[in-house]
């Protein structure tokens, strides 16, 4: 039973909607820069890919109050765009679900609350902690979207939104929903910035995924959602679906809480699992949107797993984290949007700043924007802490 992609929505460091993100991708314009909105002690040292809007601008854009978590603001912008893009007639009778992901919920507000609270447990504004839970963020957005039938939240670190997308697809396949808005969001927080900083995997310059001399990742923020519909609903829409979600899989590396195994066991199993579900041979994949964080460990593990599955001629590959930074709970959603855009327009985005290919790998990611390519199947990888590895495959519908 096929599940179709009917709508796309995105906001990231390279644009406030899908069209702007696409334009930046085509122009090779990345969004990594010194911090403007995040008030961190590391602001002069660590560049990030912030969404180029303040909370009050985002509040204006969404109609939500300005004191709401930035994570919810970003989520609503992209989820609403995706929902409108799907073009469901209003009052259309169907069961709607919202399955979202994020890694730290309303932490941006909790960390504002905390200094006063730490000094005196009776101090600090309670409205800053009411949306601390990951699920609270999803409910703010679901309410604005008018989705009440089914709302859920997944949090498996950096693979969260890939998992949310295919949980959504499974709700449709199991006849529990007809239309699912699925993806994820995260805003930059001091909590995550400092967390990654203690792991010593943040690059002080714009990151260089899959480069021999890569130094680490840049954090980013944003939200990305796709609207999944059943075959029946797809047939009732005025527009052709954008793609089919033809394969997906999740597997666990079971090697280390934060590091990937040297042979990329988890990523290997996720990619082969997705291929099996789609009924595809490796050579049928035309483009892989890599997880490609730019850390020593991820890129060699992912590269090794790819080398084990694919052979020459390798599919085209690139990490769009060289544009958006690593958006954590949002990256699976954003990169799903980019993968579908790639299929739709026959384009492949460059892996920016790649200077020296990794010597261990027999392939090199794409370094220049490519257009006019016939693409049938695109794979998107998302791997996270706890060895959580997920791959999605989008195919032409």
Active site amino acids: 158, 291, 326
C-alpha dihedral over 390, 169, 321, 41, to 10 degrees?
A: -90
Classify the C-alpha dihedral 125-126-129-130 as positive or negative. Answer: negative
- The site string for another protein over 375-394 (x = CB under 8 A, - otherwise) reads ---------xxxxx------
Q: Is 152 in the site for another protein (CB under 8 A)?
A: yes
Give the nearest distance from C-beta 394 to another protein in angstroms: 20
Stretch that binds another protein, among 10-18, 146-154, 289-297, 346-354 (CB under 8 A): 146-154
Which residue number, 55 or 155, has a Cβ lying nearer to another protein? 155
32: nearest Cα among 46, 44, 22: 46
- Nearest-approach distance from CB 195 to another protein, in angstroms: 3
CB 129, min distance to another protein, A: 6
Q: Which two tokens stand for residue 56?
A: 């009050």
Contacts (CB under 8 A) with another protein, residues 295-334: none
Instruction: Establish if 230 lies at the interface with another protein (CB under 8 A).
Output: no
Nearest residue to 382 (alpha-carbon basis) of 103, 154, 158, 202? 158
Number of residues that bind another protein (CB under 8 A): 62
- Cα-Cα-Cα-Cα dihedral of 339, 342, 344, 345, to 10°? 160
Among positions 98-137, residues that touch another protein (CB under 8 A) are 103, 105, 110-111, 114-115, 117-118, 121-122, 126, 129, 133-136
In the region spanning residues 13 to 52, those forming contacts with another protein, defined by CB under 8 A, are: 40-42
d(CA 328, CA 193): 11
Smallest CA-to-CA distance from 192 within 256, 275, 105 is with: 105
Nearest distance in Å: CB 251, another protein: 5
CB closer to another protein out of 266 and 315:
266
Nearer to another protein, 110 or 344 (CB): 110
Of 26, 92, 94, 170, the residue at the interface with another protein (CB under 8 A) is 170
Cα 291–Cα 297–Cα 302 angle in degrees, nearest 5: 40
Task: Report the C-alpha gap between 318 and 316 in whole angstroms.
Answer: 7
Query: Is 69 or 320 the residue whose CB approaches another protein more closely?
Result: 69
Measured in degrees and rounded to the nearest 5, phi and psi for residue 71 equal -60, -45
Residues 102 and 40: beta-carbon distance below 8 Å: no
Position among 29, 67, 256, 368 found at the interface with another protein (CB under 8 A): 256
Residue 251 as a binder of another protein (CB under 8 A): the answer is: yes
> Between residues 133 and 231, which has the closer beta carbon with respect to another protein?
133
**Residue 236 to residue 232: CA distance in whole angstroms:** 7
Q: Which residue has the tokens 């902690």?
A: 129
Q: How far is the CB of 144 from another protein (least distance, A)?
A: 14
Q: Are 347 and 370 in contact (CB under 8 A)?
A: yes
List, as own/partner pairs, every contact residues 31-38 make where C-beta atoms lie below 8 angstroms and the sequence separation is at least 24, other chains included: 31/220, 31/323, 31/324, 31/325, 32/206, 32/207, 32/218, 32/220, 32/323, 32/325, 35/188, 37/188, 38/188, 38/189, 38/190, 38/193
Site residues (CB under 8 A) for another protein? Answer: 40-42, 103, 105, 110-111, 114-115, 117-118, 121-122, 126, 129, 133-136, 138-139, 142, 148, 150-157, 163, 167, 170-171, 173-174, 176, 190-191, 194-195, 197-199, 250-258, 265-266, 269, 384-388
């Amino acid at each position: 039973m096929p599940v179709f992609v009917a709508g796309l929505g995105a906001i990231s460091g390279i644009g406030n909607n899908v069209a702007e993100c696409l334009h930046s991708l085509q122009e090779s314009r990345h969004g990594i820069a010194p911090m403007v909105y995040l008030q961190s002690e590391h602001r002069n040292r660590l560049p990030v890919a912030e969404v180029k809007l303040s909370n009050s601008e985002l509040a204006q854009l969404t109609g939500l109050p300005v004191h709401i978590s930035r994570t919810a603001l970003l989520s609503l912008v992209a989820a609403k765009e995706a929902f409108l893009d799907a073009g469901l007639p209003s009052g259309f009778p169907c069961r709607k679900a919202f399955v979202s992901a994020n890694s730290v919920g309303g932490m941006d507000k909790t960390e504002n609350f905390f200094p006063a609270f730490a000094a005196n447990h009776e101090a600090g504004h309670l409205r800053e902690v009411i949306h601390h839970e990951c699920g609270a963020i999803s409910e703010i957005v679901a309410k604005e979207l008018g989705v009440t039938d089914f709302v859920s939240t997944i949090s498996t670190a950096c693979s969260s939104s890939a998992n949310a997308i295919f949980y959504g697809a499974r709700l449709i396949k199991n006849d529990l929903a007809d239309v699912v808005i699925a993806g994820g969001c995260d805003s930059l927080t001091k909590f995550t910035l400092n967390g990654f900083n203690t792991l010593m995997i943040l690059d002080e310059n714009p990151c260089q995924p899959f480069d021999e001399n890569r130094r680490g990742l840049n954090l980013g923020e944003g939200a990305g959602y796709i609207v999944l519909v059943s075959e029946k609903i797809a047939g009732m829409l005025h527009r052709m679906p954008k793609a089919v979600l033809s394969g997906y899989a999740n597997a666990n590396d079971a090697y280390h809480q934060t590091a990937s195994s040297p042979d990329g066991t988890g990523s290997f199993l996720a990619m082969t699992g997705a291929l099996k579900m789609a009924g595809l041979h490796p050579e049928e994949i035309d483009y892989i949107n890599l997880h490609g964080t730019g850390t020593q460990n991820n890129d060699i593990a992912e590269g090794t797993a790819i080398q084990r599955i694919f052979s020459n001629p390798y599919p085209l590959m690139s990490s769009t984290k060289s544009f958006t930074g690593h958006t954590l709970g949002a990256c699976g959603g954003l990169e799903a949007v980019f993968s579908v855009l790639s299929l739709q327009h026959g384009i492949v985005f460059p892996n920016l700043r790649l200077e020296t290919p990794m010597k261990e790998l027999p392939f090199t990611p794409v370094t220049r924007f490519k257009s006019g390519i016939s693409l049938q199947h695109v794979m998107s990888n998302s791997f996270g802490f706890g060895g959580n590895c997920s791959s999605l495959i989008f195919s032409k519908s």
